[in-house]
Amino acid sequence: MAYSVSINGKQHSVDADGDTPLLWVLRDLLDMKGTKFGCGMALCGACTVHVDGAATRSCQTALSSVGSSRITTIEAIGETTVGRQIQEAWIAHDVPQCGYCQAGQIMSATALLATTPNPTDAQINDAMYGNLCRCGTYPRIHAAIKHAALAARGPA
Amino acid sequence: MNRRTLLKAGAAAGGGLFLTLGLPPLIRRGLAQQPPMMNTPLLPGAFIRIAPDNIITIVSRNPEIGEGVKTMLPMLIAEELDADWANVRTEQADLDPAKYGFQGTGGSGATPSNWEPMRRVGAAGRAMLIEAAARRWNVPAGECRTEPSLVIHDRSDRRLSYGALADQAATLPAPELAGIKLKNSGQFRIIGKPTPGVDVPAIVTGSPMYGIDVSLPGMLYAVFEKCPVFGGKVVAANTDEVGKMPGVRQVLNVPGDGDPMGQFQAGIAIIADTWWQASKAREKLQVTWNNGPGAGQSSADFAREAAKLALTPAALTTRRDGDVAAAFGRAAHVVEAAYSYPFLAHATLEPQNCTALVANGRVELWAPTQNPSAGAELVGRTLSVPQSAITVHVTRCGGGFGRRLMTDYMVEAAWIASKAGAPVKLLWNRKDDIQHDFYRPAGYHHLKGAVDDSGHVIAWRQRFVTWGNNGAFAGGADVGDDNSPAGLVANYELDVSFIPQVVPTGPLRAPRSNALAFVSQAFLDELAVAAGRDPLQFRIDLLGPPRLLPGAGGGPPGFPPLPGLDTGRLRGVLELVREFSGWANRAALPAGTGMGVACYFCHRGYFAEVVQASVDKSGNVTVDRVWAAGDVGSQIINPLGAEAQVQGAVLDGLAEALGQAITIKNGSVEQENFDGFTLLRHSDAPPIEIRFLTTPYAPTGLGEPALPPVVPALCNAIYAATGKRIRDLPIDPNALKAG
């Protein structure tokens, strides 16, 4: 059946079964490959997108459940100020190794800073708990989030 | 081996300089599981393109798995080319041994095997650009010099950009690579500068670049169900019913190659219009399996068998020095202990996948692989297609860790695509990935060691119960006669017993060392404690005077053989880590907190690491901080990349020690996903302080050598914190409970 979904500010018509996870709608039906498949069970966070601004695992989000929610993906997160600052911090700290988890990491970090502009270490740990990095980039992710938070506050 | 290398010039498509070269054979060990790919004949390859607009494109021949070669290899060329790095673009090479020589990623080999050859390519390019400018100005080439991407003649105050010279340079004869003068390190402008990964801007914006991201017109998607028991075969399956599921195009009975531990296993493949449809159809799939020889295996039985074997005569004596029994007789302290560690999966975050197009007698593959040559050979053998008809596009890999040295997913994709009449992307799910790996082999060790009354190690006997048959080790389950501390203890014996098994095994980051370092460096700690010695000084004393021990041998002709342990270099990193970790002040740590040390030499690199860990009353371990001291020679090529590799290796080792195990029951793997096979999480990552010693040796790689010491250093820290010795991995908090 056909669904109309709002992704990165644009309405898309998607003809697929309602139980199709948003992850596969994005990747294979709409050819937006930035959102990654890691576990299929919301255990790794590689597929994190924003649903109405909240970090959400798209592998566990059925197409039929999206409704009129606004979906934002890694491809468009740089259009928000916080998203752009996070991406710049990721570049400044040379965060990625293999890079595969980083779209999900960036989506979770952006959702955190959007609601908590100056997070504590504990808040960063909590917000990023669900995003696995197999390469071990956590120290740089942590530093990059702090860097972006500082950048967002602007010159003192 | 004649190491003479040739540089050829020719006009590149679209104009500009086009350099090619021949390469010496590359290191063999570290990739020893893959002999076929090392037989690649030596043929020339192309690395540099200079466009008229001064954009310089440099090809990285090795696959990028997150180790940073796509940045590092072009840095080497760009340095000697004297290119303006800001205008350098890098490109991942397809598999083309005729152009590029060896193209595998593994064994921390990229640095030692490219350090000179890639710089010579760059230097030759620079010489040709200078010659082109000299001819145009009619001045001696010796009067010209370069600044980044510019040739300059000071006496006439003239300058030309590389882009303006490229066409002319391409018509010149090429200099001999061997005779080319290289910069001294004081002249480096790029090497040694912190250089961000070339793909980072594309990664943070979600650009497609991984194997899983490949998309072709008319592409179908496949899933592949293999027998949960390794080597099992299909007896019957409800293929007709599955074939009627929405979107399904074909259901295929894949025969495999019949080897229970081989890279082409039997099973049922489902091809559908989308991967999700194929996965949904798979839920309806019912297969009757013949489980074969692996049925009934279990980790518990393996452990019982290992304990029995340890008491029976060994199958193999790997090394025997002196008289171990006599030394035990005169020892002041004798310690005996049994150690074990489990199978481990690689769990690359990008599940195994490959996209294949088989048409008109040709095979085209898009593969996230560390080992494209081996994949092409396996595919060619399986489909009876000559290598000349196979193209492999090497994609960025979402992690490698040795998993992608095996190319099972490539042959599966190619076989399935050969029946599909369309391009097919085969993608495994996480359960496939965890249950069909080539695992880091488990192992069992029985040790007996002795110190004399002056606190020195005088005897070491080790029985290693591992996997294999009749003296032949299973993949990655071997041990060499250089197994530490061989060569440092006068009375030393290493014996091996084998358990036959049907569990596929293979290299995992720092193969062998990731487990053997745990055993030797943790048991050494037991000896230090028995002797009442400072564990760090105890290690320095064991190393003795600076000298080079014999290597395990190997390495092809024409390439530097793998060296043995340089005791002075290992001592150097121990002394460095002692200094900056505050080792001397460890007695002041609070109760329940301790520091442990370990050191190891592998993959040509030297690391000593100190871990500070705390254990609470429930037995939960917190790693407070890690200090890592490394010696990989005269030059850190990219400090940003080097730091990342050490951080990654340390966290990788901590994850292994703190929670990872693959266990076998009824012939199959019990774990299915990241709930059962755990990775380290954000909040688990401790601060890691890293320092490098600079020593007068050619630079070596960093993908692996920082991993092995962290595992025993953590276990030794836990002992210091609790008085409880970790002899079995992963660490069990229940065993560390207070009281």
Partners of A56 in the β-ladder: A49
Domain B7-204: give its CATH architecture: 2-Layer Sandwich (3.30)
SS (H, E, C) B60-104: ECCCCCCCCHHHHHHHHHHHHHCCCHHHEEEEECCCCHHHHCCCC
pLDDT of residue B174: 75
Residues 100-129 on A with a CB inside 8 Å of B are 100-103, 106, 124-126, 128-129
Alpha carbons B388 and B553: distance in angstroms, whole number: 34
Tokens of B461: 């006997």
Instruction: Report CB contact under 8 Å: A35, B687.
Output: no
Q: Where are the alpha helices (DSSP H) in B147-212?
A: 162-169, 200-204
Instruction: Report CB contact under 8 Å: A28, B349.
Output: no
What average pLDDT does range A129-156 have in this prediction? 91
B587 Cβ contact list (under 8 Å, min separation 6)? none
Q: What is the residue whose two structure tokens read 């620079």?
A: B126
Distances (CA, A) of A55 to A3, A45, A127, B375: 22, 9, 9, 38
pLDDT of residue B578: 98
Cα B96 off chain centre by: 22
Say what the ipTM of the complex is: 0.98
Query: Is the domain A2-72 a CATH 3.10.20.30 member?
Result: yes
A·B CB contacts under 8 A: 178
With an 8 Å Cβ cutoff, is A52 touching chain B? no
- Nearest chain A residue to B689 by CA distance is A139
pLDDT of residue B402: 96
- Nearest chain B residue to A79 by CA distance is B205
pLDDT of residue B560: 59
Alpha carbons B643 and B650: distance in angstroms, whole number: 11
Instruction: Report CB contact under 8 Å: B208, A73.
Output: no
Contact list, A126 vs chain B (CB under 8 Å): 683
pLDDT of residue B238: 98
pLDDT of residue B23: 30
Beta strand B664-665 with B18-21 is unpaired
Alpha carbons B244 and B254: distance in angstroms, whole number: 19
Angle, helices B513-531 vs B535-543, to 10°: value is 110
Domain B299-344+439-736: give its CATH architecture: 2-Layer Sandwich (3.30)
- The answer to whether the bond into B712 is cis (omega within 30° of 0) is no
Alpha carbons B166 and B49: distance in angstroms, whole number: 9
- The low-confidence residues of chain B, meaning pLDDT below 50, are 1-45, 556-559
Instruction: Report CB contact under 8 Å: B688, A139.
Output: yes
Q: Which of A21-30, A40-49, B113-122, B493-502 has the lowest mean pLDDT?
A: B113-122
Tokens of A51: 């649903």
- The answer to whether the bond into B590 is cis (omega within 30° of 0) is no
Give the pTM: 0.94
Instruction: Report CB contact under 8 Å: A33, B349.
Output: no
Domain ranges, ordered by start, for chain A: 2-72, 78-153
Domains A2-72 and A78-153 share a fold: no
pLDDT of residue A155: 57
In tens, the pLDDT along B340-362 reads 999 999 999 999 999 999 999 99
Contact list, A139 vs chain B (CB under 8 Å): 647, 685, 687-688
End-to-end alpha-carbon separation of chain B, Å? 64
Contact list, B508 vs chain A (CB under 8 Å): none
A77 Cβ contact list (under 8 Å, min separation 6)? A50, A83, A86, A87, A106, A107, A110
pLDDT of residue A154: 67
pLDDT cut 70: percent of chain A above it: 98
Contact list, A29 vs chain B (CB under 8 Å): 274
How far away is chain A from the Cα of B11, in angstroms, using its nearest Cα?
35
Alpha carbons B687 and B646: distance in angstroms, whole number: 12
Closest CA to B654 of B688, B604, B629, B631: B688
Q: Which of B199, B275, B652 sits opposite A136 (nearest CB)?
A: B652
Residue B341: what are its φ and ψ, rounded to 5°? -145, 155
Tokens of A128: 């990023």
Q: What is the residue whose two structure tokens read 């390439």?
A: B559
Domain ranges, ordered by start, for chain B: 7-204, 211-293+352-427, 299-344+439-736
What's the CA angle centered on B573, arms B570 and B574, to 5 degrees? 85
Q: Where are the alpha helices (DSSP H) in B479-616?
A: 513-531, 535-543, 567-581
Torsion angle of the four alpha carbons B298, B299, B301, B306, in this order, in degrees rounded to the nearest 10 = 140
Alpha carbons A82 and B642: distance in angstroms, whole number: 29
Alpha carbons B523 and B520: distance in angstroms, whole number: 5
In tens, the pLDDT along B49-62 reads 999 999 999 999 99
Contact list, B650 vs chain A (CB under 8 Å): 136
How far away is chain A from the Cα of B382, in angstroms, using its nearest Cα?
29
What's the CA angle centered on B612, arms B607 and B613, to 5 degrees? 125
With an 8 Å Cβ cutoff, is A133 touching chain B? yes
Kind and range of the H or E run holding B612: strand B605-615
Kind and range of the H or E run holding A138: helix A138-153
Tokens of A31: 């050819």
Q: Which of B212, B398, B673 sits opposite A43 (nearest CB)?
A: B673
Instruction: Report CB contact under 8 Å: A135, B675.
Output: no
Instruction: Report CB contact under 8 Å: A98, B349.
Output: yes
Closest CA to B713 of B630, B631, B655, B626: B626
pLDDT of residue B102: 83
pLDDT of residue B105: 86
Alpha carbons B668 and A139: distance in angstroms, whole number: 36
Query: Is the domain B211-293+352-427 a CATH 3.40.50.300 member?
Result: no
With an 8 Å Cβ cutoff, is A24 touching chain B? yes
Contact between B475 and B483 under an 8 Å Cβ cutoff? The reply is no
Q: Which of A44, A75, A126 sits opposite B674 (nearest CB)?
A: A44
Length reported for chain A: 156
pLDDT of residue B553: 61
Domains B211-293+352-427 and B299-344+439-736 share a fold: yes
Instruction: Report CB contact under 8 Å: A43, B396.
Output: no
- Nearest chain A residue to B652 by CA distance is A136
Q: Which of A31, A78, A136 sits opposite B648 (nearest CB)?
A: A136
Which amino acid, residue B436?
H
The CATH number that domain A78-153 falls under is 1.10.150.120
